[in-house]
Amino acid sequence: MNNFKNTLIVNTNVEITPETLQSIVLNAKTAAEKNKKGVIKVDTANKLSEIISLFLHKKNFENFAKNIKHYT
């Protein structure tokens, strides 16, 4: 998914609600294609990472992180 400029993969802990996680898992499974046997194969942990990265990119996390006001 890394279509963004000069990005790094950073492993971190992020707090989300159980409902958010349920939504991501459900949507990932719904959007995933089934194989010939009708089995859905999707890496939900990777999808969670993709969704969070997309959100951070769309909401301009880079500018947010540059603002010193967010560190106090």
pLDDT (tens, 9 = 90+) of the chain, 72 residues, equals 556 678 899 999 999 999 999 999 999 999 999 999 999 999 999 999 999 999 999 999 999 999 999 999
3-state secondary structure of 34: strand
Quick count: other Cβ atoms within 10 Å of Cβ 28? 19
pLDDT at res. 4: 66
Residue 44 C-beta-side C-alpha neighbours within 13 Å? 12
Strand partners, 34: 40
* Rounded Cα–Cα distance for residues 60 and 55 (Å): 8
**Cα Rg for the chain, rounded, in angstroms?**
15
